[in-house]
Amino acid sequence: MRTAKFQIGQIVKHRLFPFRGVIFDVDPTFSNTEEWWEAIPEEIRPIKDQPFYHLLAENEETSYVAYVSEQNLLIDETGDAVSHPQVEDLFRGLENGHYVLRQSQTN
């Protein structure tokens, strides 16, 4: 098993498509549905044996949650904050270009 290249709180962009986001979770290997994977055109379909990242993503039109393979991510070097409406729910702020995860509350 490989070590993830990117970390929770890191701002990244997609290698092929015009969106960016902040990582809020990492799967060591593919952990989505077979239908989701098969819906990706075969010529750009990622391999499953690599880390996959959950992003609070945004493009010019909307915000959403994305699931992206490591091979399709690059570091976003704009220095811009992510304006996804859930950022404040998961992170306490942006420090040195990296979002800091909130401490989880347990009962």
Residue 89 located in a structural domain:
yes
Residue 107 located in a structural domain:
no
Residue 1 located in a structural domain:
no
- 52-56-62-67 Cα dihedral, nearest 10 degrees: 10
Residue 106 located in a structural domain:
no
Query: In this model, does residue 107 exceed pLDDT 50?
Result: no
Confidence of residue 1 (pLDDT cuts 50, 70, 90): low
- Residue-number span of the structural domain to which 44 is assigned: 11-101
Poorest-pLDDT segment among 1-5, 18-22, 82-86: 1-5
Residue 66 located in a structural domain:
yes
**Number of compact structural domains in the chain:** 1
Residue 23 located in a structural domain:
yes
The pLDDT value given to residue 103? 81
CB atoms within 10 A of CB 20: 22
The pLDDT value given to residue 28? 94
Q: How far apart are CA 20 and CA 74, in angstroms?
A: 9
The pLDDT value given to residue 40? 93
pLDDT for 37-67, tens place per residue?
999 999 999 999 999 999 999 999 999 999 9
Residue 5 located in a structural domain:
no
